[in-house]
Amino acid sequence: MNASPTPTRSTRSTRSAPSASSAQAQPAVEQVDTTFLESLLGYNARRASLAVISVFLERMAPYGLRPVDFSVLSLVAHNPGITSRQLCGSLALLPPNVVGLLNTLEKRDLIARQPHPRDRRAMGLHLTTAGQKLMRDAERTAAQLEAEVAAKLTPAELRTLLKLLKKVYA
C-alpha cells in the first residue's frame, strides 16, 4: 500500500552485460525507470485498483466492512433471496470461503438465511432491517468515495474508463 510510481529517466535501458562472475564497479540507480511496466495494461489496472481499494478500506472501516463484505451485502440488497452459490458465481469467490463470511454477517445481524422457496438444499439470503440501514449508508459512502476518486477525471473520462474496463473483462 506504499506504491509510489517514479518514471522519468528515458535514457537507454538494458545496458552492458554483467555476468555474475565479472564484478567490476557497477553503477548505482538514481531514478528507477518503470516505463516498460507502465506500458502494460495489467500493471496499470492493478495499480489503479489498489489505489481505489486503499481509499475504500479507509472509508468502509467505520462500517466494519471489507471490500468483499460490501460486495456481498450489496448483491444481497439488490437481489433479495440470492443464494451462496450465486454470490460465488458473481463475485468469483469459492464456496468454502463464503461460509465464514456469511456466518460473521449473520452474527452481526446484518443478514438472515431463509429457506429457499424451491430448493431445500439452498438458503435464500436477505438483509435484516439493521443490514438495510447499514447498506443505505455504506452505498452512499461508496458513491461519494467514487466521486472523490473520479475527481481526477472529468465525468466524460470516467464514463469512458468504465466502458473500456468492462470491454477488457467482458
- For 14, the enclosing helix (H) or strand (E) is none
Strand 123-127 versus strand 111-115 pairing type:
antiparallel
* 3-class DSSP state of 127: strand
81, 60, 58, 78: which is closest to 69 by C-alpha?
Answer: 60
Which residues, numbered 115-134, are part of the site for a copy of itself (CB under 8 A)? Answer: 115-119, 124, 126-129, 132
C-alpha grid cell, residue 87: 454470490
Distance in Å, CB of 80 to a copy of itself, minimum: 6
Least Å distance, CB 160 to DNA, is 27
Q: Which is nearer to DNA, 9 or 113 (CB)?
A: 113
Instruction: Scan residues 82-101 and list those touching DNA (CB under 7 A).
Output: 83-85, 94-99
112 binds DNA per the rule CB under 7 A: no
**Smallest separation (angstroms) from a copy of itself to the CB of 161:** 4
For residue 62, the minimal CB distance to a copy of itself (Å) is 17
| Residue 20 touches which of DNA, a copy of itself, none (Cβ within 5-8 Å per kind) | a copy of itself
- Between the CA of residue 148 and those of 96, 154, 158, what are the distances in Å? 35, 11, 12
Handedness of CA 64, 106, 91, 138 (dihedral sign): negative
Of the candidates 83, 73, 89, 43, the residue with the CA atom closest to the CA atom of residue 138: 73
Binding site for DNA (CB under 7 A): 1, 66, 68, 83-85, 94-99, 102-103, 113, 116, 119-123
